[in-house]
Amino acid sequence: MTSPSPNKLAPGRLKPMASPGIFALCSVLATTAMLLCAGCSGNKPEAPPAVSVRAATVQQKTIQQIVSTEAVLYPKTEASIVPKISAPVEKFYVNRGSHVHAGELVAQLENKDLQAALDQAKGTYEQAQAAYDTSIQMSVPADVQAAELNAKQTKQAMEAARDVYQSRLKLYQQGAIALNQVNDSHVNYVQANNQYEQAEAHLKGMQKIGQSAELDTAKGQLASAKGAYEAALANLQYSEIRSPITGVVTDRPLYEGQMAAAGTPLITVMDLSHAIGRAYVSPQQASLLHVGDSATLVLGQGQSDAPAKVSVVSPALDPNSTTIQVWVDAVNSGDRLKPGSTVTVQIVAKTVKNALVVPTDAILTAQDGTTSVMVVGKDQAAHQTTVKTGIREGADVQILSGLSGGEQLVTQGAYGLPDGTKIAISKSAEPPSGTSDGGKE
């Protein structure tokens, strides 16, 4: 049987397809031919199209450095009222949620036995007081009386001898008597004065010995009775439970009739007029903060934020977390700040007025940490300019150097854009919040 010719196909068979290599070769030849024809005709290749970007203008406005962290709310003050005696609760005068004032009676413990003990101690104290008064007024012993009489007599004799001596001295000076009479009277005066001093000293000694024993006994009995009376009075007062602060009752675990144990909290009162947010920040952040700095408590869930002030910046690190505790104080209007809840605290660490501010999307950060922006030039090209940044607030960043204000900066599309590239500013709507080009700061 004769085989078909290579240039002819058998009836009913398909024509074979050309190989991919032939198509690629044809494409290259066609492209080369087009370029040669374009070169022969003298036409130039078209300029690349401008890159579409978005831009923003450098603004001058106030910017704040915000330290943001989480904080747990505490009351301004809190008092866990602990009874000093163990006794059943006779009556409660408050419930949870009751508003109380400092010194207000909030509970009464049974105290009939304490009242009886006070009455007994009071009687003993009054008896001791009467005995002490009697000891003071009682007559002194006979030997003390004799000492007083002797001191009185020797004093009179001393005064008489002194008068004689002074009289004879004047007469001698007038030449009326001899000197020996003056000397005799002086000797008599000296002897009488010595006898008086001895009698006076003896009297004081007798008085001290005679009265000290009785008075000390009476004084000791009085002091003991007074101490017992004051102790009984204090125990009776301990049965009256009073609030030490003004606030709201937040806990009352017992009911009337149950035993209140000494040392166990009976009622808890919190001062909710202010809420204290306690937060922990890094030492670097704490170095920016000062007492009195403005702050805001962000409550969320549709609630309005609460203004606050920094009240404490701890001078020492927390040993467990190596952070520093910061307190912010906020007025608790309407008791809407609940102790124990967690809130976001934003503290204004620094405020700069009339600062040059750009969007954070415009900042490009190199691997060595240097920052730059792409400035839109009059030639509609993007020019890379090195800048130094300052504080940041949300989507804004302060420019310390590199810009003078009023420039247009590429905010989206700048990453990987060569310096001097022609650009076209897009007028389309801004992308949803949170989207940005990859690789930016």
Task: Report pLDDT for 303.
Answer: 87
Distance of CA 215 to the CA centre of its chain: 56
Q: What is the pLDDT of residues 361-409, one digit of tens each?
A: 999 999 999 999 999 999 989 999 999 999 998 899 999 999 998 999 9
- Indicate left, alpha or beta for 241 from its phi (over 0: left) and psi (-120 to 50: alpha): beta
Q: What is the pLDDT of residues 230-282, one digit of tens each?
A: 999 999 999 999 999 999 999 999 999 999 999 999 999 999 999 999 999 99
- Name the class of domain 271-351: mainly beta
Q: What is the pLDDT of residues 122-152, one digit of tens each?
A: 999 999 998 888 776 654 566 677 888 898 9
Is it the case that residue 419 has pLDDT exceeding 80?
Answer: yes
- Map out the domains of the chain as residue ranges: 53-62+354-425, 83-110+239-265, 114-238, 271-351
Mean pLDDT of all residues in 213-229: 85
Chain segment 164-175, per-residue pLDDT in tens? 999 988 888 888
Q: Classify domain 83-110+239-265 at the CATH topology level.
A: OB fold (Dihydrolipoamide Acetyltransferase, E2P) (2.40.50)
Q: Count CB-CB contacts under 10 A for residue 262.
A: 12
Q: Worst-scoring range by mean pLDDT, 80-89, 213-222, 225-234?
A: 213-222
Question: SS3 helix, strand, coil % of the chain, rounded to 5?
Answer: 35, 35, 35
pLDDT digits (tens, 9 = 90+) for 7-48: 443 343 333 434 333 333 333 344 445 444 444 444 555 656
Question: Please, are residues 440 and 361 in contact by the beta-carbon 8 Å criterion?
Answer: yes
240/111 Cα distance (integer angstroms): 9
Residue 186 burial by Cβ neighbours in a 10 Å radius (0-12, 13-18, 19+): middle
Cβ neighbour number for residue 248 with a 10 Å cutoff: 18
In CATH terms, the fold of domain 53-62+354-425 is: 2.40.420
- How much is the pLDDT for 13? 36
Note the pLDDT of residue 371.
94
pLDDT at 9: 37
Q: What value does the mean pLDDT of the chain take?
A: 84
- Mean pLDDT for the stretch of residues 194-219: 78
Per-residue pLDDT at 211? 57
pLDDT tens track for 50-95: 888 999 999 999 999 999 999 999 999 999 999 999 999 999 999 9
